[in-house]
Every structure is written in C-alpha cells, then in structure tokens.
Amino acid sequence: MSRTGELFVIAGPSGGGKTSLFRAVLDRFDHLALSVSDTTRPPRATETDGEQYCFLSRDEFEEGIQAGRYLEYAQVYGHYYGTSKDRVQTLWDQGKDVILEIDIQGAEQVAERYPEAASIFILPPSLAVLAQRLRDRGLDDEAVMARRLGEARSEIEAAAGFDWIVVNDDFDQALAQLSGIIEAWPARVARHRQRIRDLLAE
Ligand code: 5GP
C-alpha cells in the first residue's frame, strides 16, 4: 500500500457509544470515508451486500488471508471481520482520509503494521454507566450483558496502548474532542518531515 491519506481507527467496548461517534464524524467531515469491511457473519435483514459489509464465505475469507488481502482481520463472536487493503487504497487514491470502526484486536494490528495511523479509544466514563447504557439499549438479556461487561473490562485494559482516548460522558463534548483529533492529526511533525527537508533545500 502506498499511503497518501490518513488512517483513523476507532475502537472501544460495545455500549460505549463508538458507533454513534463514528457516524457523527463521518457526517461532519466530507474528506472522511469509511472502508466497508469483509465479514463471514450472515447479513441481517436490513443489510445489503457491499453497503454495511461485503459478505463472504469462510473459504473466500481464508483465501483472502492467505493472499495478504487484509490490512487487519479478527474473529469476533466466531465470525471473521477484516479491512481490505485495496478498498482503503482506493479511498486514499480518491483523496479521502479513511476511518475504520473495528474491534480491539484489529485496532492493535493496524497500530503495529501502520504506526502512521491514529488509534482512538472511546472510553465510557465508568463501568456503571456502560452497564446502564447496555441495559437502556434493551438488546441483551442479563446473561449476555454480564458477558459484555466482562469483555469490556479486558478491552479497557487495551486502552492504554492507543494514541488517543475520548471519554464518552457527554456526547457533544466527546464529538468535539474526536473532531479536534481528526483535524489536528495531519499537522503532526512526522507527517511533515519531507516538507521541512524540501523547504531547507530551496
Ligand atoms: P457487527 O457484527 O455487530 O456488525 O460487528 C461486530 C464487531 O465487529 C464490532 O465490534 C465491529 O467493530 C467489529 N468489526 C466490524 N468490521 C470490522 C473489521 O473490518 N475488522 C475488525 N477487526 N473488526 C470489525
């Protein structure tokens, strides 16, 4: 891959509000685009192939792994999910910056392989708030909720390895902070070393 744009990675425990924040920044910034992931999870009734995900068989996905087609991939709840290198490159070639909303294992792989990416962890203000949000969603029974909370604990341990942490207490404040990170990230020194060299060579 020949990077021409930025890569932002958003992760965090489920119920922490990462999906709402992700959608809100996508709406706010025209230069941001999401890369549609591949998955082996069956489509839900509301989902269309190529829109929310590209739905593949396990064989197709594993072929993709062998062929080195994924920037990162992971198994979540028994299904593969992965980010296609080609799709990210195509968006960069169109002049877009790319934003991914992926699980923690995937975010860690991106950080390792592409240290130029900005990794952002969406942290709930407390486990009590997270539990309340999961309850309010009303999607899970008590047993699933208890499992999600257990998972959230171990996911939160990974937060310290990220570049940025946005505490999602108040949504608008969290959105403002996330927007600030996205705006400031291209100004980091590492992005401009060549420019400095060119300038001094004039
Ligand atoms: P869902 O099946 O509910 O759409 O997504 C389940 C989980 O998979 C979410 O935590 C989501 O962030 C994660 N996910 C979605 N796409 C990708 C991807 O391309 N790579 C990785 N590692 N995780 C993904």
Low-confidence ranges of the chain (pLDDT < 50): none
CA distance 123 to 112: 21
Q: Give me the sign of the Cα torsion angle 72, 171, 32, 56.
A: positive
- Ligand 1 centroid, distance to 172 Cα (angstroms): 24
DSSP 117: S
Beta bridge mates, 39: 55, 81
Q: pTM higher than 0.95, yes or no?
A: no
Average pLDDT, the chain: 94
- Distances from the Cα of 150 to the Cαs of 103, 126, 139, 156, in angstroms? 15, 13, 17, 10
Q: Using one digit for the tens of pLDDT, what is the confidence trace for 92-125?
A: 999 999 999 999 999 999 999 999 999 999 999 9
The fold for domain 7-201 equals Rossmann fold (3.40.50)
Note the pLDDT of residue 146: 87
Query: Which residues make Cβ contacts (< 8 Å) with residue 11, sequence separation at least 6?
Result: 18, 101, 102, 103, 104, 106, 107, 119, 120, 121, 122, 155, 162
Residue extents of the structural domains in the chain: 7-201
- Ligand 1 centroid, distance to 38 Cα (angstroms): 9
User: What is the three-class DSSP state of 45?
Assistant: coil
- Ligand 1 centroid, distance to 197 Cα (angstroms): 40
Does the beta carbon of 101 lie inside 6 Å of ligand 1? yes
CA distance 137 to 132: 9
Helices (H) and strands (E) in the chain, counts: 8, 9
DSSP 21: H
Specify the residue for token string 């709930």.
124
Among 81, 85, 120, 144, say which to mutate for ligand 1: greatest number of ligand atoms within 8 Å of CB.
Answer: 81
Does the beta carbon of 25 lie inside 6 Å of ligand 1? no
Note the pLDDT of residue 92: 96
Does the beta carbon of 37 lie inside 6 Å of ligand 1? yes
Which token pair is 30? Answer: 């025209």
- Ligand 1 centroid, distance to 11 Cα (angstroms): 9
